[in-house]
Amino acid sequence: MPKVLEPSAKWSAALQDEFTRNQFNPCIGTRLLSQDSRVRVWEVRLKPSERLGFHRHVLDYFWVATTPGKARSNQQDGSVVEAIYAAGQTCHLIYGPGQFKVHDLENIGDSEFVFTTVEFPDSANPPLPLSTEIALEPQRA
């Protein structure tokens, strides 16, 4: 059973409620572009002031910034991280058994921020199930 977390007391009541409701949300992007047994490919597309709500990472993955941007992220430990991204910037993350990360992402820049995230379902942790509205049939050549 995945670990249930308590929201940060530093957050507003609305943010605490959202965290509690969505801490097992497997949707790490704004749109699932493709999936098969080896990868899930997500797009994150946020206009200025738009936010991707809380979600949980359990799989190894990498992301690539398609456009430059500036973002803020509320982390599961209550900390807030702000970052500036360059187009083409890439980051790889690996989670061991039982490890995960819960956070949100808000575009705090002046233009649309876009990046692509690729998850690997064959990781140390099983993938969180996607709802039927989100899940895609595996892509075949």
What is the CATH code for 13-120? 2.60.120.10
pLDDT in tens, 75-96: 999 999 999 999 999 999 999 9
How many whole angstroms separate alpha carbon 70 and alpha carbon 141? Answer: 36
Within 12-138, residue ranges assigned H as helices are 13-22
Residue type, 37: S
Mean pLDDT, rounded, of the chain = 94
- Residue 139: pLDDT over 80: no
CA distance 120 to 126: 10
Tell me the C-alpha distance between 137 and 101, whole Å.
Answer: 26
Contact between 108 and 68 (Cβ < 8 Å)? no
Q: Once rounded to an integer, what is the mean pLDDT over residues 1-26? A: 93
d(CA 44, CA 34): 13
Rg (CA), the chain: 15
Per-residue pLDDT tens over the stretch 43-68 = 999 999 999 999 999 999 999 999 99
- Domain ranges for the chain, please list them: 13-120
